Structure 1
């Protein structure tokens, strides 16, 4: 019996990096058509011409970010004349924050922390691009977050119309959108739309067979032989399909293997997967909460507390009265937050007909889980 137990200094992981969410695999299957189309859109930048603007659209966990990062890695290996900049809009979701990241990529350092205007930052970016005869390609990942924050036009306008203020500057934009209810082309204002005119590349959900193949590849790369039996992989695939998000499956593999290690087992058992799924299934919730501002977190906490007391649909007015004294937020700002939470799939916002239209709110997640993640 003892020989089947893991020693304290042993591990089941051959390469734990393979199970990180931001890992970019060398072998990236099932997105060849999308990568070819994306490469075609950015190819003019290699010739010193502005790349074609593009929207990569699809549900979370469908390979959009990885595809863009694969193309960016190839660009960086090939040329210095096309400068790719990746921005995570869940983290950097204001105009100044985004252009500070662009400034850092172009100049090699961040702008001064204080006393620097946006115009000074953009002037420095433009001057560097002109001096080095470089073309800029900016990927705005989760660009729908800029829409929730009313920043999308403030970001796209200077990027897309930069050539008017700085003749010779060439900038292309890739917008990655995971909210299928958002049509970015119709949401931007007319002055942006007239120069944006993007090509849309659709990333469909992975099939069960594709998810099985991708996760099997991760297991072969990241775990030692015989750690995960075929029937346990089938269970992981089954749980992943329930969520429709490949990232859940990757996280599930990691957590289940850690559970097995904790119990000093040499292989992952069904109970390890079931236990891990209770955490991995809330991956979207964890990522979404991480992107919220402090006042938004407080309002969401108020909604969760109210929902925990009364497990029914709540009227938006009742919720506002419950949270306004705690947070000190006005109704207009509060309703903007509610719409944002709805767009982020944290809650459902809909209407009930009666004497007028009553807005109803219901959390998509267990309120106790929401509060738990907010405290982390």
Structure 2
């Protein structure tokens, strides 16, 4: 006699998840696998801060989804457990992409409240932060996460210069800087002003892409902590690992597991099947696109909207359409084109045009419909 077909069905108040937060972007895993050498290098650089001295500066490089932010957060947690004499602040430069907004975030971290939204100069803002550090005899460790966004806005050199020279204007201020770049085409040191290069000699810590066995190992722990027993079978996890390795971004796999679990629940199933994974991948594979689009300004999004309908067109033709929408001049338009190119959202290549010399053609890096759908 066959079993009850409803035995494999969830009741209305049940879930396949043991702890869904395990699959959130801000979750910090208890066990941080396959990054021992990177953690040792970061610990070496920051150890002087725990002893009350200025730490070594660090440059953390690697593609998206390779554990850079998690490594810094784990180390910050360890420092916080050891001493109250070190102030650790991580700034998301994708959100805070100007010098003033970076220092506003530092002010908030030091004083536990936001600075006035207007009426305070950068010099005064900077001075209050430095004076607070000296008064409390605390070392400040600043992580500029996704520092590449500061470069896209031409704010990186001024921001770093202010941080690295703080002790000259404010004797006793001890600040260490961790710059974190996810843009493999960006040569951080070469892109800085010479005045910054002369004082910025960071330790270099590289985070390579995880290979497939490492991905499966990491995702297996998420499955164990995030799902109930028996929800994700070995073959399903292997498929998730394969798709994640294809993208090169561990965050795709984490998002994929969560969405596959939600798909299983939609079917009232107690187990995640391959069909749930394949369906979820159609969304999860665009996770980097969605995050990049969320960081864009209104004018930057407007240019992408124009390109959705004019993919592959020459820069001059695209500008005509773009200027009708925004009334921006060509100089600002060119800056936006360069930023979208640096973000990997478009490919802006120069080519010879008969009778017109060299011109750039602008091509979307993703399917136009995928971009259109996420811009709406």
TM-score by length of 2: 0.96
Residue in structure 2 matched with residue 193 of structure 1 by the alignment: 197
SS at match of 1:314: coil
Q: Deviations over 1:342-368 (max 9, x none)?
A: 111111111223542221211111111
Q: Deviations over 1:171-212 (max 9, x none)?
A: 110000000100111111011111111121111110111001
Residue in structure 1 matched with residue 370 of structure 2 by the alignment: 369
**Which residue among 89, 108, 111 is the counterpart of 2:93?**
89
Q: Deviations over 1:150-180 (max 9, x none)?
A: 1101211111001111111111100000001
**Which residue among 153, 162, 165 is the counterpart of 1:161?**
165
Q: Deviations over 1:20-59 (max 9, x none)?
A: 1221101000001001100101111122221111111000
Residue in structure 2 matched with residue 170 of structure 1 by the alignment: 174
TM-score by length of 1: 0.96
1:56 aligns with 2:56: no
Shift of 1:322: 1.8
Residue in structure 2 matched with residue 352 of structure 1 by the alignment: 351
Q: Which stretches of structure 1, 4 residues or more, deviate above 3 A after TM superposition?
A: none
Q: Deviations over 1:120-161 (max 9, x none)?
A: 211111111111111111000000000001110121111100
Question: Which residues of structure 2 form unaligned runs of 5+?
Answer: none
Residue in structure 2 matched with residue 273 of structure 1 by the alignment: 277
SS at match of 1:196: coil
- For 2:91 and 2:100, locate their aligned partners in 1 and report how far apart those are by CA, in whole Å: 12
- For 1:305 and 1:175, locate their aligned partners in 2 and report how far apart those are by CA, in whole Å: 37
Question: Which residues of structure 1 form unaligned runs of 5+?
Answer: 308-312
**Which residue among 218, 223, 227 is the counterpart of 2:227?**
223
Shift of 1:297: 1.0
Moved more, 213-222 or 116-125: 116-125
- Does the 8 Å contact 2:145/2:180 carry over to 1? yes
SS at match of 2:77: helix
Q: Deviations over 1:74-108 (max 9, x none)?
A: 11111111111100011111112111111111112
Q: Deviations over 1:292-325 (max 9, x none)?
A: 1111111111111223xxxxx2211121112111
**Which residue among 196, 205, 212 is the counterpart of 1:208?**
212
- Does the 8 Å contact 2:344/2:365 carry over to 1? yes
Shift of 1:262: 0.8
- For 1:218 and 1:4, locate their aligned partners in 2 and report how far apart those are by CA, in whole Å: 23
Residue in structure 1 matched with residue 338 of structure 2 by the alignment: 339
- Does the 8 Å contact 2:87/2:138 carry over to 1? yes
Moved more, 140-149 or 334-343: 334-343
- For 2:358 and 2:309, locate their aligned partners in 1 and report how far apart those are by CA, in whole Å: 25
**Which residue among 116, 125, 145 is the counterpart of 2:149?**
145
- Does the 8 Å contact 1:299/1:327 carry over to 2? no
Shift of 1:282: 0.4
Shift of 1:3: 2.1
- For 1:106 and 1:71, locate their aligned partners in 2 and report how far apart those are by CA, in whole Å: 19
- Does the 8 Å contact 1:50/1:171 carry over to 2? yes
SS at match of 2:118: coil
Residue in structure 1 matched with residue 260 of structure 2 by the alignment: 256
- For 1:241 and 1:363, locate their aligned partners in 2 and report how far apart those are by CA, in whole Å: 23
- For 2:359 and 2:97, locate their aligned partners in 1 and report how far apart those are by CA, in whole Å: 31
Residue in structure 2 matched with residue 310 of structure 1 by the alignment: none
- For 2:85 and 2:137, locate their aligned partners in 1 and report how far apart those are by CA, in whole Å: 7
SS at match of 2:276: helix
- Does the 8 Å contact 2:210/2:245 carry over to 1? no
- For 1:108 and 1:358, locate their aligned partners in 2 and report how far apart those are by CA, in whole Å: 50
SS at match of 1:28: coil
